[in-house]
Structure 1
Amino acid sequence: MILLAEPPESGPSSGDAPDGGHDPLAGAGGSAAGGPALDVALGPLLLRHGLGDAVDILRVHSPGPTAAFSRRDTLRPGYTRAAEVVRQAGFVPVVRPQGGSLAVYDQGSVVIDHVHRSGPAAPDPAARFAGFATMHAAMLARLGVDARIGPVPGEYCPGEYSINAAGAKLAGSAQRVTRDGWLFSTVLQVSGAARLRPVLTSAYAELGYPFDPATAGAIEDSVPAVTTAAVRAAVLAAYGVTGPAVRLPRAVLELLRS
């Protein structure tokens, strides 16, 4: 498995690579250069084109403020208004290729993008949801979270394999399956749920989806000492990543920008 390097989160040299060159993934809050729009485009690009001969590619990052709509959301009569609502709140509206419905996240989140290039194998998306939910819940349990698998009534981006604690959603996943393999994305909300609730409330009202703000939670609500850095480290351990991270090749970045 190849782990993509996460850029420095802040500072005047956040775009500088250790060798003095430019880190092509550098951006505010761990986002790809160009921000949330390129963040959501990177996974599908790697799924289609790959990265050398790697079968599995993992990116674990904390992005800038992002409002990730699904393609289904864009068909709702209130989509244009919802996009404007999140933009006014400081979140960049993007359309992700994975399924589900609107998810809002920011620097208090840890996003896992796992690309698996298996070729045209028969997909088994339900089993994949179940397997990753089990792994992520066990990972959170090791951090002291009473993590449960299952939907929470009134949650945002509802799903059978949401991860929750004390009646609030902490994590959700979505996936994309193509002839090249699959992209499985998970958002773990570590801190700052209070920042997200009003944005979700307004946007979901415009989209016409039911939503209970109390169901939007964060890991810090039950384990205050847990940080995004600790969660990222736990993710790498859960995925068995032991080798060094690699920077995104410049040629891939140029393809992304094009």
Structure 2
Amino acid sequence: MLLREPVGGGPEQDAELGPLLLRRGLGDAVDILRVYSPGPTAAFSRRDTLRPGYDRAAAGVLRLGYVPVVRPQGGSLAVYGPGSVVIDHVHRSGPLPPDPAGRFRHFAAMHAAVLVELGVPARIGPVPNEYCPGEYSLHAAGAKIVGSAQRVTRDGWLFSTVIQVSGVADLRAVLTPAYAELGYPFDPSTVGAVEDTVPAATPEAVRSAFRNAYRLAENTVPLPDPLRAALAGESPAAPNA
């Protein structure tokens, strides 16, 4: 089931919607998908909030126009905005063997295949000193273009992916001081985007390609009013931002 856009709200609501759908579901749907381009967002992990420089990092991204939020998925700070494509895939299965590595492998291969079809020479694997480092990052031309994180609960799992399509200079300008405050190793040159190798690419074209790749997403529905109301009261703005 594919959520119809726009859902409304802002970065705080975007960060909470996936976990809310994982907890409460959407009718009898087993798989719920959202593919969208957000407002300027700085998504910190809970691990980030324990770093001594977190408050300064959150204040700094806000000054640069990016809303700091705390996401329940793992990893470390990821920054994205209108030039990015975010995929939130909720699978409501009840308790199952976790197998997080298997999901990372599956979706990395799937997402790489979609990008290759678009002409991007995407490869699976980390880039040294990348932001939100992960074994299953996707890279092209020596820079990271896709990152994923997931959350597993008794209700199922939420797998979130960010594809950077454009706006690399803005992303580097936000990530560089924030990672310095957090004390993580980071090389700004590792931040890349789809447009680096396919200059004509647009977020709209990338969103369309990924919607088509998820064949489960043929039933498009709006966000029901009760979930919209619940979302309005559960926005995880970053503390002390």
- TM-score bracket for this pair, using the shorter chain length: over 0.9
Partner SS for 1:256:
helix
Does residue 1:215 correspond to 2:152, yes or no?
no
Contact 2:33/2:217 (<8 A) preserved: no
Counterpart Cα distance in 1 of 2:174 and 2:136: 23
Partner SS for 1:63:
coil
Counterpart Cα distance in 2 of 1:241 and 1:160: 27
Does residue 1:6 correspond to 2:5, yes or no?
yes
Equivalent in the alignment of 2:205: 230
Counterpart Cα distance in 2 of 1:67 and 1:228: 18
Equivalent in the alignment of 2:29: 54
5+ residue gaps, structure 1, are 8-24, 27-32
- The range that moved more, 224-233 or 241-250, is 241-250
**CA displacement at 1:160 relative to structure 2:** 0.1
5+ residue gaps, structure 2, are 234-241
Partner SS for 1:184:
strand
**CA displacement at 1:165 relative to structure 2:** 0.3
Equivalent in the alignment of 2:93: 118
Contact 2:2/2:217 (<8 A) preserved: no
After superposition, where does 1:183-202 map in structure 2 within 5 Å?
183-202=158-177
Equivalent in the alignment of 1:29: none
Partner SS for 1:136:
helix
Equivalent in the alignment of 1:17: none
Partner SS for 1:225:
coil
After superposition, where does 1:162-181 map in structure 2 within 5 Å?
162-181=137-156
With structure 1 as the length reference, what TM-score do the two structures score?
0.89
After superposition, where does 1:1-258 map in structure 2 within 5 Å?
2-7=1-6, 25-26=7-8, 33=9, 35-241=10-216, 243-258=218-233
Counterpart Cα distance in 2 of 1:47 and 1:133: 21
Contact 2:149/2:160 (<8 A) preserved: yes
Contact 2:150/2:157 (<8 A) preserved: yes
Counterpart Cα distance in 1 of 2:121 and 2:109: 13
Counterpart Cα distance in 2 of 1:136 and 1:106: 19
Return structure 1 stretches of 4+ with deviation > 4 angstroms.
Answer: none
* C-alpha distance after superposition, 1:192-219 (max 9, x if no partner): 0111101100000000001000000000
Contact 2:31/2:216 (<8 A) preserved: no
**CA displacement at 1:226 relative to structure 2:** 1.0
Counterpart Cα distance in 2 of 1:113 and 1:125: 15
Considering only aligned residues, what root-mean-square deviation do their CA atoms show, in Å? 0.8
Higher RCO (CA 8 Å, separation ≥ 6 residues): 2
**CA displacement at 1:243 relative to structure 2:** 2.5
Counterpart Cα distance in 2 of 1:253 and 1:237: 26
Identity %: 72
**CA displacement at 1:80 relative to structure 2:** 0.2
